[in-house]
């Protein structure tokens, strides 16, 4: 079975958007270690509580931080 993650980069209470994006990168690394197949990044604009307004940039950061997981 191929497992995937869909990440919206939620901003936790008391957290800044850049911290939420860093958590997304850490989550991608962790899911790769667990053997997940794919890591999807959602795109949201002007949504309070979500940090991913430019998935292309986050995708490149995640791809740089991982080795085998597919990112999109």
The string of pLDDT tens digits covering residues 21-38 is 999 999 999 999 999 999
pLDDT at 44: 80
**Total domain count, the chain:** 1
pLDDT at 43: 86
* Domain residue limits at 12: 4-71
pLDDT at 31: 98
Token pair listed for 51 = 């940090």
The string of pLDDT tens digits covering residues 35-68 is 999 999 998 887 889 998 889 999 999 999 999 9
Can you tell me which residue has the tokens 């490149």? 60
Q: How far is CA 59 from CA 3, 22, 56, in A?
A: 18, 12, 5
């Amino acid at each position: 079975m191929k497992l995937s993650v869909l990440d919206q980069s939620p901003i936790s209470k008391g957290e800044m958007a850049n911290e939420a994006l860093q958590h997304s990168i850490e989550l991608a690394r962790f899911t790769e270690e667990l053997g997940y197949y794919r890591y999807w990044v959602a795109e949201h604009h002007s949504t309070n509580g979500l940090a991913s307004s430019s998935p292309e940039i986050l995708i490149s950061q995640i791809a740089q931080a991982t080795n085998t997981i597919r990112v999109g």
